[in-house]
Amino acid sequence: MAEIEQTEVDWLGRAVAQTQGLYPYIPGKPVEQLLREKGLSYAVKLASNENAYGPSPKAMLAMQQAVSEVHRYPDGDCTELKSALAARHDVQANQVLIGNGSNEVLELLIRCFAGAGDEVVYSQCGFIVYALATQAAGAIQAAVPDTADLGHDLQAMAAAVNAKTKVVCIANPNNPTGTLLSNDALQAFLDVLPRQTVVILDEAYDEFVADIKADSLQTLKHPGLVVSRTFSKAYGLAGCRVGYAIADARLLAVVNRFREPFNVNNFAQVAALAALDDGDWVMDKVAKVKAERARLEIAFDDLGVLGGKSYANFVLLKHAKAGGILNKLEDKGIIPRPLAGYGLNDYLRISVGTAEENDKLLNGLNAVLKQVEV
């Protein structure tokens, strides 16, 4: 294709202006890339908070059975999945919005409710997509500093809400800090907000706290409350890209106008439906992840590198030489996630793997710490 002279027409002007300083979401390094770069024969990615135990066998079977229908477009309304989710959460089907990952749901919501001149409030160490989606929407980022222990400072966030604030985003548990807010604290926060504020409560890791916290969907009250969940974490379907939000039907009717016609592919729909029906399998894997998380946190504490308590499927490492530790772990085929993009230069986020993967991590970390501390 012939290259267009930039001077010929200002064809990139608005897009360039709007994306100034917009840094793309940086995912964990792919395993294949590390194997190539380091000439290794084994590597494990502990950088994207996936479920290391994989998906439910029922979900895999459903996808295999769906292969012969791949020449057809998927159900654009996700009718079956929507009604299964509505039944699960005791809401109407029109109170469910399904997306290509909960990431799409978050972006749609922010794009729909915040535009030029509007503000979106979130915590500085809140999930990075809130900042990216706000900027992409042309809205103003109102990032609020966290508490000293890297939790949401709800008082400061409430104080940051003003007449221009259209959306507030909170991840609970939060990624990347792993912190958890109680429903009481959240309700007290919601009670002081203007009623028209859209509040996105991102519960991508909810299954990991389901035994210690009441279901927010049954507990929290606010007209503009949107609770988002995903099949990418506990359900082990990150590769399918399917997540959803529950909210007031009128609010979602508006968001639906921004949605692509066939945003959720058929494999994702059938896999999610089958996985929903295999709750025991999911909760068994959640229990395994939590047991392994506890083992890692004790080991990190013994090594003097525990970065805080996590309520999700990852652990936090804190060390003044976090960058050096990351490089040396990668030399050993272990891929953690750096958190410098959040201003957390001393931290690494490490997803909980299988027991064998975690053994490799701990062995590698023991050796690496000896190297960086000499």
Ligand X SMILES: Cc1ncc(COP(=O)(O)O)c(C=O)c1O
Q: Which of 95, 135, 179, 230 binds ligand X (CB under 6 A)?
A: 230
For ligand X, the closer of residues 95 and 103 by Cβ is 103
Our finding on whether 49 is near ligand X (CB under 6 A) is yes
Count CB atoms within 10 A of the CB of residue 184.
11
User: What is the Cα–Cα distance from 336 to 328, expressed in whole angstroms?
Assistant: 11
| Among 13-21, 53-61, 98-106, 115-123, the segment contacting ligand X (CB under 6 A) | 98-106
Q: Which of 103, 165, 266, 351 binds ligand X (CB under 6 A)?
A: 103
Our finding on whether 169 is near ligand X (CB under 6 A) is no
Our finding on whether 336 is near ligand X (CB under 6 A) is no
Q: Which of 28, 74, 243, 364 binds ligand X (CB under 6 A)?
A: 243
Q: Which of 140, 238, 283, 299 binds ligand X (CB under 6 A)?
A: 238
Our finding on whether 269 is near ligand X (CB under 6 A) is no
Our finding on whether 97 is near ligand X (CB under 6 A) is no
Q: How far is the CB of 309 from ligand X (least distance, A)?
A: 17
| Among 19-27, 71-79, 101-109, 185-193, the segment contacting ligand X (CB under 6 A) | 101-109
Ranges within 139-158 binding ligand X (CB under 6 A): none
Our finding on whether 351 is near ligand X (CB under 6 A) is no
- The footprint of ligand X on this chain (CB under 6 A) covers a number of residues equal to 13
| Among 99-107, 108-116, 211-219, 279-287, the segment contacting ligand X (CB under 6 A) | 99-107
Our finding on whether 171 is near ligand X (CB under 6 A) is yes
Q: How far is the CB of 55 from ligand X (least distance, A)?
A: 13
Our finding on whether 102 is near ligand X (CB under 6 A) is yes
Q: Which residue is nearest to ligand X (CB)?
A: 101
Our finding on whether 181 is near ligand X (CB under 6 A) is no
Our finding on whether 127 is near ligand X (CB under 6 A) is yes
Q: How far is the CB of 173 from ligand X (least distance, A)?
A: 8
Count CB atoms within 10 A of the CB of residue 355.
12
Cα torsion 234, 252, 172, 124 to 10°: value is 120
Our finding on whether 95 is near ligand X (CB under 6 A) is no
37: Cβ contacts below 8 Å, ≥ 6 apart: none
Q: How far is the CB of 243 from ligand X (least distance, A)?
A: 4
Q: How far is the CB of 230 from ligand X (least distance, A)?
A: 3
Which residues of this protein are in contact with ligand X, per CB under 6 A? 49, 101-103, 127, 171, 175, 202, 204, 230, 232, 238, 243
